[in-house]
Amino acid sequence: MDLNLMAKTAIVTGASRGIGLATVRALRAEGVRVVGAARTVTPELKETGAHTVSADLSTADGVAALMDDAITTLGGIDLLVNNVGFGDDVEPVGFLETDDTRWANAVELNLLSAVRATRAALPSLLERQGSIVNVSSTNSRMPADGPVAYSVAKAALAALGKSLAEEFGPQGVRVNTVSPGVVRTRLWDDPEGFGGKVAAGVGAEHAAFLQQIPEAFNITTGRITEPEEVAALIVFLLSNVAGNITGVNYLIDGGAVKSL
C-alpha cells in the first residue's frame, strides 16, 4: 500500500526509543522528513537520519525550543506525533502515595507537552491540511492501581484528541489517538525500570514476570505488542489513506481491553 507520504514533514516527540523510535524509522522509510525530539538523543535515533532535538518536553520552554527548531528546519509541518510520556521516574504507586509533584509531572509530560506542541504546530497543520496522532494508553480505559496520575493524564490526552478532531476537522486537520497496552520496550524490559518495579512489588523475578504478562493481563493474542506494530498504526493514521478517519481512539493491546 502506497501511503503517499513522500516528502511530507513530521515531528515525533519521545523519539529516542520504543514507540517513538519505531515511528521515526517507519516515517523515514516512507520518505518523510522527520524531526525527532527527546530529552536524551540516542545513537539509535541519530542513525535514522532524522533531524534531532534534545529538549525537556515536560516544560513549556522545552516544547517551544523544539517547535521553533522544527519549523525552521522543516519549513512547515504536515504531521505531528505526540508520543512523549511516562518519565523514567514513574513509580507503580496508588492515589495516597501520589503527591502534588507526581501529579504535576504526569500532567506536564503526558498532557501539557501535547497541548503546547499542538498549539505551536496548528497554524502550519491548518495551512497544509495535516494530521496529528496522540499516543495515549490502555490505562486510560482500564486504569490499574498505579500509576494513577499517569492513567488520568493519558485519559485527558485521549479526550483532548477528540476535542481537537471536532474543532479542527472542518478545517482539514485530522486528529486521532492510539492507545497501546503492554509494548516490548525498555519500560518493561529494564529490570531497573517500571517493569522491574512492578515485578518486585508482586514478589516476582523480573524475567519470569515478563513471561507471565500475557496471561496476567488477559491478552487474547497471548503476546505483548511490538513497537513496530504501534508505529505502523500511527503512520497509517497519519496518511491520507486514512483520510476520513478522525476523532478515533484505537486500541492496540492484543485484545486485553474486553469492553465495547
CA distance 206 to 232: 29
pLDDT > 70: what percent of the chain?
97
Q: What is the pLDDT of residue 15?
A: 98
Give residue limits of the domains in the chain. Answer: 9-181+226-252
Q: What is the pLDDT of residue 17?
A: 96
Say if domain 9-181+226-252 classifies as CATH 3.40.50.720.
yes
Single out the catalytic residue among 150, 168, 209, 250: 150
Convert the pLDDT of each residue in 71-99 to its tens digit.
Answer: 999 999 999 999 998 766 677 888 999 99
Give residue 216's pLDDT band: very low, low, confident or very high (50, 70, 90): confident
Convert the pLDDT of each residue in 145-178 to its tens digit.
Answer: 568 999 999 999 999 999 999 999 999 999 999 9
In the predicted model, is pLDDT for residue 221 greater than 80? Answer: yes
Cis peptide before 43 (omega within 30 of 0): no
Reading the block at residue 38, the C-alpha cell is 527527546
Top pLDDT among 6 and 216 is at 6
In the predicted model, is pLDDT for residue 138 greater than 80? Answer: yes
Provide mean pLDDT across the span 105-118: 97
Q: Picking from 29-38, 54-63, 179-188, which range would have the lowest pLDDT averaged per residue? A: 179-188
Q: What is the pLDDT of residue 228?
A: 98
Helices (H) and strands (E) in the chain, counts: 10, 7
Provide mean pLDDT across the span 239-247: 98
At residue 60's C-alpha, the angle toward residues 192 and 155, to 5°, is 60
Q: What is the pLDDT of residue 45?
A: 98
Reading the block at residue 19, the C-alpha cell is 514507540
Give yes or no: 150 in active site: yes
In the predicted model, is pLDDT for residue 21 greater than 70? Answer: yes
Q: How far is CA 54 from CA 14, 15, 36, 45, 178, in A?
A: 10, 10, 9, 11, 24
